[in-house]
């Protein structure tokens, strides 16, 4: 069941539940997936603005989250903020992996 209304709190919980021990990584993309989880977690936890990208596809097991955050240019030359899109697993996808690699 996909949620259409994701809160920052719920997305943060998903990030925290998505961390998988390196001994259980099973895909060449697992390191990048774990890195994205960490980056998304810190931006969401810090209170950055976000929006769900329903137009990205990827199946029902993926939540695409676009996060707006300050970057180097924001502070050094008033260069605005950056938008980055991250992929998170749905709670259902995590449950089906039983603590293993969800990627």
Residue 38, domain member (yes or no): yes
| Cα–Cα distance measured from residue 2 to residue 85, given in angstroms and rounded to the nearest whole number | 18
Domain count, the chain: 1
Residue 24, domain member (yes or no): no
Residue 3 has pLDDT above 60, yes or no: no
Residue 20, domain member (yes or no): no
Which structural domain, as residue segments, surrounds residue 87?
10-15+29-97
Task: Quote the pTM value.
Answer: 0.86
**Interval 34-60: pLDDT, tens:** 999 999 999 999 999 999 998 877 677
DSSP assignment of 46-98 equals TT-EEEE-GGG---TTEEEEEEEEE-HHHHHS---EEEEEEEEE-HHHHHHHT
């Amino acid at each position: 069941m996909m949620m259409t209304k994701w809160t920052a709190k719920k997305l943060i919980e998903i990030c925290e539940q998505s961390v998988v021990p390196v001994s259980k990584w099973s895909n060449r993309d697992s390191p990048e997936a774990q890195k994205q989880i960490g980056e998304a977690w810190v931006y969401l936890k810090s209170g950055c603005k976000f929006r769900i990208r329903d137009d990205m596809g990827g199946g029902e097991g993926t939540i695409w989250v676009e996060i707006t955050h300050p970057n180097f240019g924001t502070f050094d030359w008033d260069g605005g903020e950056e938008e980055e899109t991250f992929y998170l697993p749905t709670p259902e996808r995590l449950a089906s992996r039983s603590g293993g690699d969800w990627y």
